[in-house]
Amino acid sequence: MEKFTTLTSRAIPLAIENVDTDQIIPARFLKATDKQGFGDNVFRDWRFDKYGSINKGFSLNNPIYSGSILVAGDNFGCGSSREHAAWALVGYGFKVIVSSFFADIFKGNALNNGLLPVQVSEVFLKTLLDTIETHPETNLEVNLENQTISISNSDVSESFDIDPYKKTCMINGYDDIDYLLSKKEQIQAFEAEKTY
C-alpha cells in the first residue's frame, strides 16, 4: 500500500449528500477480476449522460476544478461494500476524501487502499465547499501526522480523528494482512481453546 504523510492539493467539490457506492462505481462495471481500470468509470452516470456525452454540469467535468482531494457531502460512501468504489476513486487520482460523515465499510475500504477519509465538522465542510466554489485555485493541506486539514495561506484549519493503528499503517504503508500473519500462533491457540 502507498504511504501517506502530507498532501497539498487543489480540491474538487461534490456538494451532494448520501453519495452511495452505486454512484461511485455502478454495478455493471464490477465484472473485472483485477483492481485496474475502475478510475475510468468513477461516477460514470453523473459524469456522462445516457448517450455517453459529457455532463458539463458535473463538478468532476468542470475544468475550473482539479486536484486529488474530493470534498463531498454528508454520509459519503453509503450502501454496498464494494471495494471497487475505493479502487475507482484511487484510480481516478484521488488521495483524500473529505466529508462530514463516512459510511463504515467505505471508510475501512478507503483506509485499506491508501485513500485517506478526513471527517470534518459540518461547519468546516461548508467553509471548504464555499471556498473551493468561489476560489477553485485554493489549495488544501492535509497533514496525517498532525491530523489536521487546512486551507493554504489562511488560518482556517481543523483537526480530524483517525484510529491510531490505521494512522500508523497509512504513514508506513502497512496493511492488516502483515499484522494478522504475525499473530498466526495466537490465532491457532485461540482455535484450540475456543469456548463456544
Partner 1 sequence: MGKTLFDKVWDAHVVDSIQNGPQILYIDKHLIHEVTSPQAFNELEARGIPVFRSNQIVATADHNTPTINQDLPIKDELSRKQLEQLSANCAKNDITLYKLGHKYNGIVHVMAPELGITQPGMTMVCGDSHTSTHGAFGTIAFGIGTSQVAQVFASQCLLLTKPKSLRVTVNGELKKGVLPKDVILYIISKLGTNSGTGYFCEYAGDVFENMSMEGRMTVCNMSIEMGARGGMIAPDETTFEYVKGREFSPKGEAFEKKVSYWKTLPTDDDAVFDKEYYFDAEDIEPMVTYGTNPGMGIKISETIPVDDNASFKKSLEYMNFEAGESLIDKPINFVFIGSCTNSRIEDFRVAANFIKGKQKAHNVTAWLVPGSKQVEAQIINEGLKDIFEDAGFELRQPGCSACLAMNDDKIPQGEYCVSTSNRNFEGRQGQGSRTILASPLVAAATAVAGKIVDVTKDIETLELA
133 binds partner 1 (CB under 8 A): no
Instruction: Identify the burial level of 133 via C-beta atoms within 10 angstroms of its C-beta, where 0-12 means exposed, 13-18 middle and 19 or more buried.
Output: middle
CA 127 vs CA 77, 80, 130, 135, 158: distances in Å: 21, 29, 5, 12, 11
Taking CB under 8 A as the criterion, which residues in 85-114 touch partner 1?
A: 86, 101-105, 108-109, 112-113
42 binds partner 1 (CB under 8 A): no
Residues that contact partner 1, how many (by CB under 8 A): 56
Give the nearest distance from C-beta 177 to partner 1 in angstroms: 5
147 binds partner 1 (CB under 8 A): no
Give the nearest distance from C-beta 158 to partner 1 in angstroms: 20
Phi, psi of 159 (to 5 degrees): -95, 155
155/64 Cα distance (integer angstroms): 24
Contacts of 53 (CB under 8 A, 6+ apart): none
109/115 Cα distance (integer angstroms): 8
Nearer to partner 1, 102 or 124 (CB): 102
Binding stretches for partner 1 (CB under 8 A) = 15-18, 20, 22-23, 26-28, 30-35, 45, 50, 73-75, 78-84, 86, 101-105, 108-109, 112-113, 163-165, 175-177, 179-181, 183-184, 186-187, 190-191, 194-196
